[in-house]
Structure 1
Amino acid sequence: MHAHRISPGMGDGRDLFRAGSPNTVRIMHGLNPFIQGIVYSTYDEKRGPIPLSTLPRNIPRQVTNIVSKKTLNLLSVDGNLASNDLEILSFAPHDLKGLVNCMVFMDENARGRKRFDTLTVLFKHAHDGIFYKYIDNFTPFFNRMQESVESRRNDTNFTDALPETLSSLSGELDHLLRELQDSELKAGSAFPVAREENAPVGKELHPIGRKVIVVGDPGVGKTSIVLRYTNNAFKKTYVATMGVSLSEKLVQVEDKTFEYIIWDIAGQSKFERMRKHFYMGANMKILVFDITSKESFKNMKDWNADIGRFIKEPIPGVILANKHDKESSATVTRDEVEQLAAKLGMKCFYTSALSGKNIKEVFEYIGTLSLDRVSPGK
């Protein structure tokens, strides 16, 4: 498989779209099944953001154009973004996300003496947990790629050499992803299985994936709840979540096996810009407040509305009134909790990550909600 430059007369790649689902890109032959494509973009002073090279050659123009514009806009909007930072962006109309490396090169011939490029590895929303969880594992590959590009960026034949460079990167990423999958399977973890959307699913080897997002104010106990459920442990020391923390759990509900990918999303305002990306593709939501914090209770409606801003189709969920072990210090009454649950149309559980009260029951309950949304035959 070789990468190719975008040039006039090339096919527009319409064969990559599924019949009956015009906004979904198919898995591209020759790439690792978790990778949908690779796009190298640059900012041209006359034409603006443009794709210089892609792997494979027939990624649809509408995809490469939006990737180039959105990724290069990162460099102009986020002044604090370092040249070798990795970001994850959503390209929602095409059911894609991208692992993006933003690059800034010194160029005496460019305006401002700087040249701006981006390298984007595309993947499906359904597989974003892999890339969030292992983003640090991908960093060295992108760093080496950037060093290679930087040494040749001003060469006259730079663009001609890009296809081979992207092909080499694809091979390295393929090897890394296979290593990660093998290590997780050996450890008994629930590493997602890349497959076509309508492929048959086996009960034992291919559980039904469910993305569960856990939201609420900082310090209400989200991380402790997830930790208690996945590892049957509790941390007494609170450490603010760095954006998002991912955990996996295989759950049997009646005759179905579900793979929960649990996204513990940070509540701090500094992570607000990233939260919308974490929400996308969610199947279930868990809203958590602290019964000793009236403010965290009042913010439940805002958290629910925040999710609704970015997930247009309603998703089922549950409310957790956490820290029940501190009931004597509660500042929220049971009547208030019942009124909130009725208003948001969700069931509420009183939980304690410290004692484990109702933690297992909560996830069993969302399992029944998952069961209601499974298509017949799966």
Structure 2
Amino acid sequence: MYDTKKICMVGAFATGKTSLVTRYVHSIFSEKYQTTVGVKIDKKTVDIQDHKLNFILWDIHGEDEFQKIRMSYLRGSAGYLLVVDSTRRNTLEKAFDIQTRVEAAIGKVPFILVLNKEDMTDEWEIEKTDIDAVVNKGWTMIKTSAKNGLGVEEVFQTLAKQILDK
């Protein structure tokens, strides 16, 4: 028996949301940048704690100064991944704003702050103090690399566990 759960990928423009989904669902990474227009939907079954969860992954277009996330896309979400490009500090600041608006729209549901681009640590703009601020909020945070796959499976497994434990 499968339990279907809607999971949204949210964050600023060009943080790696689509690359994380592609890595997770298809085990591939492409250097070619693809802008998500609107929303792209994928699915993958997650086995966790003797449960099979059918994740419907909503990869929502990145937010920038011209385009805000449509909060209607979030309706019915069991959880979400808040994706940050660790080489661009402003994407973390944007993530704090997005999280506040997502919670106002759909309430408190499990989410994980994803610090993406772990393979580029020499270019990171996220400081230890920034990470401490996230930890102090009580948020779950996981470092990932869509490019080499580091932490990708862990992010989805952790979110699945949080959803089951809710």
Q: TM-score range by the shorter chain?
A: over 0.9
How far 1:334 sits from its partner (Å)? Answer: 2.6
Shift of residue 360, structure 1, vs aligned partner:
0.4
2:16 corresponds in structure 1 to: 221
Residue type at the aligned position of 2:28: A
Identity of aligned residues (%): 28
Kindly indicate whether the alpha-carbon contact (under 8 Å) linking 2:4 and 2:55 is maintained by their aligned counterparts in 1: yes
1:283 matches 2:75: no
Which position in structure 1 is the counterpart of 2:157? Answer: 364
Cα deviation for residue 288 of structure 1 reads 0.7
1:128-164 CA distance string (max 9 Å, x none): xxxxxxxxxxxxxxxxxxxxxxxxxxxxxxxxxxxxx
Q: Deviations over 1:318-370 (max 9, x none)?
A: 01111011100111113311312322x32111110001000001111111112
Paired residue for 1:235?
30
For the pair shown, the structure with the greater C-alpha radius of gyration is: 1
Unaligned 5+ residue runs, structure 2?
none
Which stretches in structure 1 are left out of the alignment for 5+ residues?
A: 1-202, 374-378
Under a length normalisation based on structure 1, what TM-score does the superposition of the two structures give? 0.42
**Residue equivalent to 1:124:** none
- In the alignment, the residues of structure 2 paired with residue 268 and residue 372 of structure 1 have an alpha-carbon distance, to the nearest angstrom, of 30
Structure 2 counterpart of 1:308, which letter? E
Instruction: Please list the CA deviations of residues 208-264 of structure 1 after superposition, one character each: whole Å capped at 9, or x if unmatched.
Output: 111111111111101000100000011211111011111100111122110101111
User: TM-score, with normalisation over the residues of structure 2?
Assistant: 0.94
* Greater than 6 Å deviation, 4+ residue runs: none
Hey, what's the Cα distance between the residues in 1 that align with 2:32 and 2:128?
A: 28
- Give the Å deviation of 1:271: 4.6
CA separation in 2, counterparts of 1:271 and 1:278?
Answer: 14
SS at match of 1:214: strand
Corresponding residue number in structure 1 for 2:56: 261
Number of aligned residue pairs: give it: 165
Within-5 A mapping of 1:209-358? 209-269=4-64, 270-272=66-68, 275-311=70-106, 313-343=107-137, 345-358=138-151
Partners of 1:292 and 1:331 within 8 A in 2: yes
Aligned to 2:3: 208
Is the CA contact 1:213–1:263 (under 8 Å) kept in the aligned structure 2? yes
**What is the Cα deviation at residue 309 of structure 1?**
2.5
Greater length-normalized contact order (CA 8 Å, ≥ 6 residues apart) = 2
8 A contact 1:218–1:267 mirrored in 2: yes
Partners of 1:351 and 1:268 in 2: CA distance: 20
